């Protein structure tokens, strides 16, 4: 029976001791062991967080749970039924297992409500469109009040944060199968703090109906505040299991074998840059309240809620570096590192090496032919420099974890030896270890005079920046140096009316 309400009857499912049991589950890709002998038991009504650095096996584990990737060995039991053989996404759905993937699975050419039917193919008949609109609209309203999403909009026209909301809400729509286990893979990575809190508060509500949540996040505070159980993975194995109560962030880092992320010290003078020489300058007189500029060897932060003009400014700077702009002057070469790596970053049909070296292809071409030996040399150099976890640069980039894909994009940009690097929330969904490695590369680059314009939705990353511009509704509402930064000032500026229009 169709039921679009989150009632106990619709979603509670099994009340067995364990909803899902994995026993000695492994997965290998050729000679590479992605997951080894994993035992996992998922109880109803609890949130289990899975921790580990990029490449630790988390993505492989959730793909096996969601039925999108078969295990190489081991057994899977759901609600007491052995489903090991021929377990797939359709069977997972029938058993009430839903997954919100970090790399969004929506069809960009379809409208929001049409994507709901993709998940629920039994929606049919003359009235399926209105039913689908109601399902996704109600789910969005429950999870993200005042979301502002038109369910008739094509997905490709939505900003990344709203696409993430639709992906999440769609997983909570109920048609012909109840929800028993919801897998959330970095669900808050594209959300602003307010929407992230709404989602996590919602997970507390649904657990009262017996739904189990599997939560993956690199935001340790979220894990501590909302989890019941914590599992740590390393090198494809589970290395620790804990009840979350009483654990601190340092405890979790210790269990993962990591140290806290350490951002590069702010200040162009300390970094060795030339703080008196500009490489980006806005020439419009109306910019006087908060003159926008970037000095050589400086890191400038763009803050505020996502989708308020930061990305547009980055793209304007990129365009001004290639073509004359009457209001924006850029000195030298600029490169852009996308945070939305699936739609704007990687070439999914290409190898790791091809993705990495595409920016320097012109330098590698002689008489119309690419020097393949030199191309591989550059790819190997950057693989080792940024510790990209791939044995062969000829392997498909889609086989890498999200964090390692992001490293490839960073390597592609830096291999061009640019003067200005434009970063569009590039460390979204990236683990602490990877952040430290990329921060170290930033330190090296600013010492040689490279400048960074960095949009981030993680306030902790603002420690990287020498100066910070706060955006709201396409306008700059405040600007201050690192020494003047307070979280209260940032929050106030993120919600007040703007004074400087960055679109002109």
Domains contained in the chain, number: 3
Could you tell me if 286 and 401 lie in one domain?
A: no
Could you tell me if 114 and 145 lie in one domain?
A: yes
Asked whether 218 and 432 are in contact (CB, 8 A), the reply is: yes
Question: Would you place residue 13 in the very low, low, confident or very high pLDDT band (cuts 50, 70, 90)?
Answer: very low
Range of the domain at 472: 259-333+418-504
At 214 the pLDDT is 94
Question: Would you place residue 456 in the very low, low, confident or very high pLDDT band (cuts 50, 70, 90)?
Answer: confident
Per-residue pLDDT reduced to its tens digit, 1-12:
334 454 443 444
Q: What's the rounded mean pLDDT across residues 460-484?
A: 86
- Residue 441: helix, strand or coil by DSSP? helix
Longest dimension (CA), the chain: 70
Asked whether 75 and 84 are in contact (CB, 8 A), the reply is: yes
Q: For the ranges 313-317, 365-369, 376-380, 393-397, which has the lowest average pLDDT?
A: 365-369
Note whether residue 60 is domain-resident: yes
Note whether residue 280 is domain-resident: yes
Phi and psi torsions of 247, nearest 5°? -80, 145
Could you tell me if 16 and 78 lie in one domain?
A: yes
Q: Residue 92's Cα: distance from chain center in Å?
A: 24
Per-residue pLDDT reduced to its tens digit, 27-61:
987 767 788 999 999 999 999 999 887 678 888 89
At 496 the pLDDT is 64
Note whether residue 339 is domain-resident: no
Could you tell me if 81 and 194 lie in one domain?
A: yes
C-alpha span between 354 and 77 (Å, rounded): 41
Could you tell me if 308 and 349 lie in one domain?
A: no
C-alpha span between 444 and 277 (Å, rounded): 19
Mean pLDDT of the chain: 83
Could you tell me if 410 and 434 lie in one domain?
A: no
**The domain boundary residue, chosen from 382, 398, 417:** 417
C-alpha span between 78 and 95 (Å, rounded): 7
At 390 the pLDDT is 86
**The domain boundary residue, chosen from 382, 417, 452:** 417
Could you tell me if 97 and 182 lie in one domain?
A: yes
Q: Residue 170's Cα: distance from chain center in Å?
A: 18
Length of the chain: 504
Note whether residue 1 is domain-resident: no
Note whether residue 340 is domain-resident: no
């Amino acid at each position: 029976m169709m039921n679009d309400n989150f009632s106990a009857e619709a979603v509670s499912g099994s009340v067995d001791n364990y909803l899902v049991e994995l026993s000695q589950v492994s997965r290998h890709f050729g000679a590479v062991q992605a997951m080894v002998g994993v035992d996992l038991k998922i109880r109803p009504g609890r949130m289990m967080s899975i921790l580990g650095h990029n490449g630790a096996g988390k993505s492989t584990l959730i793909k096996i749970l969601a039925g999108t990737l078969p295990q190489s060995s081991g057994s899977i039991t759901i609600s007491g039924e052995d489903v090991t053989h021929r377990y797939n996404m359709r069977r997972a759905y029938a058993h009430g297992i839903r997954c919100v993937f970090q790399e969004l699975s929506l069809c960009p050419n379809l409208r929001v409500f049409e994507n709901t039917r993709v998940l629920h193919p039994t929606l049919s008949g003359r009235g399926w469109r209105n039913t689908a609109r109601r399902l996704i609209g109600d789910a969005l309203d429950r999870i993200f009040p005042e979301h502002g999403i038109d369910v008739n909009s094509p997905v490709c026209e939505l900003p990344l944060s709203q696409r993430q909301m639709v992906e999440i809400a769609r997983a909570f729509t109920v048609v012909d199968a109840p929800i028993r286990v919801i897998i959330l893979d970095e669900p808050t990575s594209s959300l602003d703090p307010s929407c992230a809190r709404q989602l996590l508060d919602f997970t507390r509500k649904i657990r009262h109906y017996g739904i189990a949540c599997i939560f993956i996040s690199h935001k340790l505070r979220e894990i501590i505040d909302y989890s019941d159980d914590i599992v740590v993975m390393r090198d494809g194995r589970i290395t620790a299991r804990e009840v979350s109560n009483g654990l601190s962030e340092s405890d979790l880092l210790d269990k993962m074998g990591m140290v806290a992320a350490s951002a590069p010290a702010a200040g162009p003078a300390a970094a060795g840059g030339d703080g008196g020489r500009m490489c980006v300058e806005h020439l419009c007189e109306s910019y006087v309240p908060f003159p926008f500029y970037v000095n050589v060897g400086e890191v400038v932060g763009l803050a505020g809620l996502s989708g308020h003009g930061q990305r547009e400014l980055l793209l304007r700077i990129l365009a001004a570096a290639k073509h004359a702009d009457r209001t924006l002057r850029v000195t030298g070469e600029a490169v852009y590192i996308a945070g939305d790596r699936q739609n704007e970053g990687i070439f999914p049909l290409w190898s790791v090496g091809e993705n990495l070296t595409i920016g320097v292809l012109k330098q590698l071409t002689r008489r119309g032919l690419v020097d393949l030996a030199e191309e591989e040399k550059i790819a190997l150099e950057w693989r080792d420099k940024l510790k990209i976890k791939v044995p062969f640069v000829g392997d498909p980039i889609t086989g890498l974890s999200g964090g390692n894909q992001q490293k490839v994009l960073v390597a592609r940009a830096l291999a061009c030896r640019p003067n200005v690097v434009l970063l569009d929330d590039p460390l979204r969904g990236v683990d602490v270890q990877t952040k430290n490695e990329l921060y170290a590369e930033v330190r090296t680059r600013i010492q040689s005079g490279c400048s960074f314009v960095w949009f981030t939705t993680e306030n902790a990353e603002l420690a990287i920046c020498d100066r910070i511009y706060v955006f709201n509704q396409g306008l700059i509402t405040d600007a201050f140096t690192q020494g003047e930064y307070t979280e209260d000032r940032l929050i106030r500026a993120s919600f007040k009316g703007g004074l400087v229009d960055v679109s002109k």
